[in-house]
Amino acid sequence: MAAFPPLRAWPRWTGAAPVALAAAVLAACAPVATQPQAVAEAAPAATPCPKDLTPIARCLSGKDSAGAYYLIAMPQQWNGHLVLHAHGGPALGAPKMERAVEDLERWSIMVRAGYAWAGSTFRQGGVEVRAAAEDTERLRQIFVQQVAQPQRTILHGQSWGASVAAKGAEMFQATATSGKRPYDAVLLTSGVVAGGTRSYDFRTDLRVVYQYLCNNHPRPTEAAYPLNIGLPRDAAMTQADLAARVNECLALNKSAAERTPEQQRKLKTLVDVIRIPASSIQGHMNWATFHYRDVVQHRAGGASPFGNQGVQYKGSPDDAALNAAVLRYRADPAAVARFAQDTDLSGRIPVPVLTVKGVDDPTAFVELDTAFKATMEQGGSAARLVQTFTQHHTHSYLSDPTYPTLMTALLRWVDGGVKPTPEGIAAQCPAFEAHFGKGCAFLPGYVPAALSTRVADRERP
């Protein structure tokens, strides 16, 4: 068996005008990004590790001063580096410790590869990127002050958490005391990285096209409301209720052979127009319902930052009829400005950034990465970005050897100044399969298309 390729000797652990004006006003009022306010944090307590990590790691947990739970895993053979994890989702409702456990179980590859791992649940549920970035940075401080001083800290964001990590890298660029950067590099995996004001456009499209086809969310007998608010504030609908309505119309819970011709026709139309697989429709409908309500009611001042004015829908049996009848909404300028201030990125990241995404990701389209590349270029950080793509069809996790390959390339970039290439990363991955199993599927020549080729352009305030 080939030896796992080492980084170095690994030491053991020793301890538009309206919206532009609104955005300008919000920016002027917004505080300058600093480290989370210094608070005496309680030391983490020893806690059982997930079963698979028990033989090789020690785990610590706690609840920070802002109310976020966190979990830390320290491998017995620590390589000296910390992976600071920002999770995806986001979940709605109060934080629960179980979320951090689930994240560590999913990302145990980092610990098995020798990295310390730390993940926060964030102090609140819902779509608030800056607060999650603050919680992640607070956890880094807890680790440094209460656990150990890492040689390198890699900020890792997954899915929606990639926007959290990218925002955190923009917000926290130097500590107040030492002037040292808190993060040495950023790893973004399967990221939702086009900013909130663009990344979710297709979910607005899904909601209105679904209603055109199914007309049961809401039903004609129920009070009407603008679909771009997700749900009214006091609506009692649950995810189970929504799933029942979707299955009533599309029979997602049945095989193709069990669907009626009408259900098959509607499902095919929705898949062809929105360009998502049938298997991801329910998840995106949940987002366009419950997360949209969270954004509107708690993040955007009660108005919706989502719209579809000007969209020309294509792919149905009768596009003219669809475009004539589909409901149209114009995003509220002030809501867009509020949401942008929290979720959109500037591209001003001062450290190396490495990304990976499966080209058939059903949740975070690969075309989002083209938008992120343009953002990094506009922010003057193009030279600090390398994007990689794989022949995977999943979103939540690609494969075990993928992530150690990326971490190794990223740290070599940080330590030696050798910027990796997609070709070099693809060539290095097979050596990790000997230690972590099969799963290398990098596509070094792949270049994603523009986001507008996947999600139709629209009028913006």
pLDDT of 140 higher than 90: yes
Q: Which residues of 16-32 are buried (b: 16+ CB within 10 A; e: fewer)?
A: eeebeebbeeeeeeeee
Q: Domain residues of the chain, as ranges?
A: 17-195+345-453, 198-340
pLDDT digits (tens, 9 = 90+) for 153-163: 999 999 999 99
Q: How far is CA 183 from CA 27, 315, 352, 358, 383, in A?
A: 24, 45, 10, 25, 17
Write down the mean pLDDT value for the chain.
92
Angle between helical axes of 239-250 and 261-274 (0-180°, round to 10): 110
* Residue-wise DSSP of 160-191: HHHHHHHHHHHH--S-TTT---S-SEEEEES-
User: Which pLDDT band holds residue 8 (cuts at 50, 70, 90)?
Assistant: very low
Q: How much is the average pLDDT of 297-313?
A: 97
pLDDT of 7 higher than 80: no
Report the distance separating Cα 307 and Cα 201, nearest Å.
Answer: 7
Give the distance, in angstroms, between the CA of residue 56 and the centroid of all CA atoms in the same chain: 29
CB-based contact 360:398 (threshold 8 Å): no
User: Which pLDDT band holds residue 6 (cuts at 50, 70, 90)?
Assistant: very low
Residues of the chain with pLDDT > 90, as a percent, come to: 90
Report the distance separating Cα 356 and Cα 316, nearest Å.
Answer: 32
CB-based contact 433:439 (threshold 8 Å): yes
pLDDT digits (tens, 9 = 90+) for 344-375: 999 999 999 999 999 999 999 999 999 999 99
* Cα maximum dimension of the chain: 68
Q: How much is the average pLDDT of 261-273?
A: 98
Q: Which fold has domain 17-195+345-453?
A: Rossmann fold (3.40.50)
| CA nearest to 184, candidates 402, 14, 343, 412 | 412
For 1-5, 66-70, 135-139, which range has the lowest pLDDT when averaged over its residues? 1-5
CB-based contact 205:284 (threshold 8 Å): no
pTM over 0.85: yes
Q: How much is the average pLDDT of 113-120?
A: 98
pLDDT digits (tens, 9 = 90+) for 15-74: 334 444 444 434 433 434 445 556 789 999 999 999 999 999 999 999 999 999 999 999
Residue 40: its pLDDT value, please?
86
Which strands make up the sheet holding 385-390, listed edge to edge?
45-47, 57-63, 69-75, 116-120, 81-86, 152-158, 185-189, 353-358, 385-390
